[in-house]
Structure formats: C-alpha cells, structure tokens
Structure 1
Amino acid sequence: MSLQPAVPRQISVQSPPQWQSPQQWQVAGTPVTQVLPQVPQMAPLSPLEELGPPPKRQTENMPTPASIANQKEAYSRALDQQLESGAKTIHDQKTQALDILRNAAEEKKMKFTMQIEEEMLQKEFELDENTHAQIMQLQQAAFQQKSQLEHQASQLIMEYKQRFMQEQMQQRLYEQKMRQHQMRETMQQKMKDVSAKKAAAPPSPSSPQVSMPCTAAADMGPMLQSPMY
C-alpha cells in the first residue's frame, strides 16, 4: 500500500483594490474628467465684469493621501496575515504528510522485520532438523562399527582362548612324551648296563639264567605303548 502526501490546499490571496487614476474617478455614477485651468490671455482692459461662481473642487469625492496610506497599510497587514496563515497551513499539511509517510514506513519495516524473523526461524528449524538427522546417522554408524568391533574382538578372544587351550594341551602332550622318552632311555640304559655286567661276569654252571630284564621290558611294553593325551 503506497501512501501519497496530501496535496497542499490552495491558499487564495485577495489582491488589493486597483486604484483609479484621477481621470477615471466617478462622482454619482458620472465620469469626471480633469479640467485644467486655462491661463488667461492678456487682453485690453475692459470694464469690470461679474466674478461668477467659484471653480469646482477637482479633489471632491477623492480619497486623500492619508486615507490611501491607511488603506494601503491595512491591505498590507491583511496580505501579511494571509501569507503567514497560508504558510502555516502548508507547513501543517507537510507535517501531516510526513507523519503519514513515517507511519507507513514504520508499518512496512515492522512487516518486513516480522517476515525476516519468520524466515530466520524456519531456516533455524530446518538446520536443527538436518543437524539432528546427521547426528543420528553418525551415532548409528558408530553403533554399527562398535558392534562389528565387539564381534571381531569376541571372535579374536574366542580364537585366542581356543588356541591357548590347544597350546596347553600340546604342551602337556609334549611333556608327557618327554617323560616317556626319558623313561625309555633310562630303561634302555639299565638294560645295557645289565647286559654289560652279565657279559663281563663268568657264567656259573649252578646258577640259573636271569631273565628279569626281559621280563621288565615286557612288563613296561604296555605302559610305553599307552595312548598319548
């Protein structure tokens, strides 16, 4: 809505009355023309004549210079008052028009400010939604990665425990084999020692043959062939 300032009201100023020249003055509705006195011509003396009536007054029914000055002063004051009043009216109209323009501008500024604030709030709301959605996606991705990490860690821990148990079992089997190997070496060494002593000593005809080492070896056979864990 566009508002236009009010057009200043036309102020009419009365023009002063037109002064009439002496030739145009009227008396009782009849134009009066100026009669200039004629210079008498020198004539020969003649007998005395009657004077006759006095000449008519040429300034009769005319305003005097004093009345003209007074009337001029009155009209001048009236013109000054009309000028002052007209100028005041124009200034008042200008002030009123400026007030209307300022009010319209303030209203437009308020509407524009409200529109900008609404747009700003809408953009902030959309930005908050986008930020929340991105954070949710990031949290979901982190949760999935943590789940995968937990699964991998669980698998690695389980594999480590299984391999550790296998390692312990293999170590126990190895230690058992070592003990069996040492027992075999010990038994074989004892059998060699007994055989060497027997070969070095002369045989006695009355003494029976000793078959203990063979019996001992036969007795140890099942134990040496026992299954390994």
Structure 2
Amino acid sequence: MSFLELRSLVKNFGGLRAVDNFSLSLEEGSVNALVGPNGCGKSTLFNLITGALRPDSGHVFFKGEDITGLAPHLIARRGIGRKFQVPAIFDELTARENLVVAARGAVRQTEIADIEALIRLSDVAAREAGELAHGQKQWLEIGMLLAQAPSLILLDEPTAGMTEAETRATAELILTINQQQKVTILVIEHDMAFIQYLGCPLHVMSKGRILKSGSFADIRRDPEVRALYFGTHEALNHA
C-alpha cells in the first residue's frame, strides 16, 4: 500500500458533489502538486484527508492505516500537517517563539535554530511575526509545521500573494525540506510558474476528480487541460 492512499472518496454538499470518486496514491518521500479551477474540490479533498470533513464514502489510508473520519487532532498526531492559504501565526510573538509554541516542547532549542535556518528566518527570528514580509510569514508557518515533525505536509496555495522572487524561493524551500527532512509533500496551487519550479508530478482536478496526471511538460501540452483552464492556459503557455 502507498504512503498515502485516497480510495474512491466522495463528498456531497446537498445536491453538489464536491469530491467525486477521487483516488490518488502518493509514495513516501515524494512531492506532488494538485491543480484545478476554483470550486473543483481541492480544499474539500484536504479537509477529507485531515479529518475536518468526513467522506460520504471512500477511504483515506495513511501508512497502511485507515484514518477515514478520525478527529483532526488524532490525524495530526499520526504525522499529517496542513498549511492553509492564509498564514496562521501569532503576530505578537517573535518568529522563534512561534516555532517554540508549535513544537510544544517536542524539539530542542538547537533544532529550533536548525528550522530557522532552513526556512531562511535566522536573521529575523527575534522579530515579531506580524512585522515580517508576507513571504516570510508563509515560510514561518511552514517552519511551525516542521516543528511538529510531520511525515506528510499538505500545502494550500503556499505562494498566494508572493512576489516572483518569493515564489521561486518557496519552491526551493519545499524541495529542500523534502530532500533534507524526507517529508512527503502535496501542494495545491494555481501558479503554474511555481509548479514548473517544483518539477514534480502534477495532477489536474476537475469536477471533484482527477482529469489528468503527468509531468508539467505533458500537462502543459494536453488539449483537455488547456480547454479546462481557459484564461489560465496562457500561464501554461508562458511558464
């Protein structure tokens, strides 16, 4: 069985089927990206994985265990961390204090310093988090996840609102975390330049299910994906 296996997940909201017989398998240590138009079910899928929502049918397996419908805190304890689109940090605390709070005493001070260096915030670790630049706040939240020692991280649009330089740096950070920390990563994104920087397998979601999977180059050439994206296909052309 795969490290994370989503098997025939279905989630309905009244007459709307947000996730429709969705299946996906991720290997341990991999980086994967999930893209698709707004409303295609990406965030709902993350909610099903993390226990924020219970599927109407189907199963979520993590490390061989069926975790379908477990409470979010129990799923988090098993090693799944999630970053939301808007950074959830404590503005009045320093960047370092945010990491310490997130760690809940689970890591030593030297390990906190290692995380600060990894997320490129060593020089500003003593500053209040609310004073950091937008990209730095995003990196801080990723660091807060790392402080909890997850084996799987779900990132929901981690480059939203970033400059091009911050976007490239975030891609580099994610790849470094994957390689150095051996953390499996699944990313939701709209920014195709960012996806290209990652150079990872890409899964296109439409109407609650996987439309296509493949490399960035393969997806970029696919006529069905281009038709789905309409205006967004321009980003595919010029990424």
* Larger relative helix fraction: 1
Same fold (TM over 0.5): no
TM-score range for the pair, normalised by the shorter chain length: under 0.3
Instruction: Calculate the TM-score normalised by the size of structure 1.
Output: 0.14
* Larger relative strand fraction: 2
Q: Which has the larger radius of gyration?
A: 1
